[in-house]
Structure 1
Amino acid sequence: MGIFSSIKNAIFGKDQPKPAPPEEAQKARDNSITAEALRNISRAGSVDVEDRLSKMDGADRLNWRTSIVDLMKLLGIDSSYENRKELAQEMGRTDYEGSAEDNIWLHRRTMQELALNGGKVPDKMLD
């Protein structure tokens, strides 16, 4: 099981929602889907990601809404550079170096992937 699967399972639990159609998901991964289309996919999501995360123990002490490190900590997933690099590779990025820009991209991309897998994610976390 990959890092993203661990993130998804920690948030969705047993409520595994129906993911976006494969062609829409592939367009998003290829960056050829419009931002509005991604938002529409997210609005149709059946699991409210922000609500689930905000109710987790420690959510009030971590900056999980914008930080991939804090998101991983909240979920009990090792947030080491190696794991973040592996997650970035799962998301299609091979040049991850752990910079602030890389981590911002990784958090946004993780939220987009959660939306593509049936999560309802706030627009501010998708942009």
Structure 2
Amino acid sequence: MSLLGSIVSKILHPFGGGDAQAKPSEANAQPSAGGSDAPASTPTSTGAPAGGPVDVEEVLNGMAAKNSQTLNWRTSIVDLMKLLDLDSSLTARKQLADELHYTGDKEDSATMNVWLHKQVIKKLEENGGKVPADLKD
């Protein structure tokens, strides 16, 4: 599973509710079968769970409360990945940047990290997560 898929799965399906796949970016979305003129924003994945959208803030705050470290998941991609028990090394973040089609300088890790955090939050929302307004771009 991709890093993005792991992030989405751990937050939106924390109890293993399916093999979550993050929606592809609109630039990579495949046309629907039959060649309809559906807009690119038409859901191409599982979307929101049957019970409604998952409250991303509630899930992450709950995980943070149980974590022995003080992690600022709201602004730090490194802390978000640590909270999810994922590899947060620069190598892993560069891999995530590749998955998300980052075109900036990956050696400028501060800029890349800010971009990654914004993109991950966006992908969580696109995949059925309820994201607080203050985290949206």
The two structures have a TM-score, normalised by structure 1, of 0.73
Structure 2: which 5+ runs fail to align? 30-39, 41-47
- Residue 37 (structure 2) aligns with: none
Residues 94-113 of structure 1 deviation map (CA, whole Å, 9 limit, x = unaligned): 44225212111110110001
1:4–1:110 Cα contact (<8 Å) kept = yes
> Equivalents in 1 of 2:67, 2:89: separation in Å?
19
Question: If you compute each CA radius of gyration, which structure gives the higher value, 1 or 2?
Answer: 2
Which AA in structure 2 matches 1:83? A
Q: Does 1:111 align with 2:121?
A: yes
- 1:108 aligned counterpart, secondary structure: helix
1:69–1:79 Cα contact (<8 Å) kept = yes
Which AA in structure 2 matches 1:8? V
- Residue 37 (structure 1) aligns with: none
1:85–1:98 Cα contact (<8 Å) kept = no
Residues 14-40 of structure 1 deviation map (CA, whole Å, 9 limit, x = unaligned): 456x99x98xx617x9xxx9xxxxxxx
Task: Decide which structure has greater helix share.
Answer: 1
Which AA in structure 2 matches 1:88? A
**How many aligned residue pairs are there?**
111
2:4–2:96 Cα contact (<8 Å) kept = yes
**4+ aligned runs moved over 3 Å, structure 1:** none
Q: Does 1:53 align with 2:53?
A: no
RMSD: 3.1
**Which deviates more, 54-63 or 74-83?**
54-63
Which AA in structure 1 matches 2:87? D
Q: Does 1:69 align with 2:41?
A: no
Structure 1: which 5+ runs fail to align? 34-41
2:4–2:120 Cα contact (<8 Å) kept = yes
Q: What does 1:13-28 align with in structure 2 at a 5 Å threshold?
A: 13=13, 14-15=16-17, 26=26
Q: Does 1:124 align with 2:131?
A: no
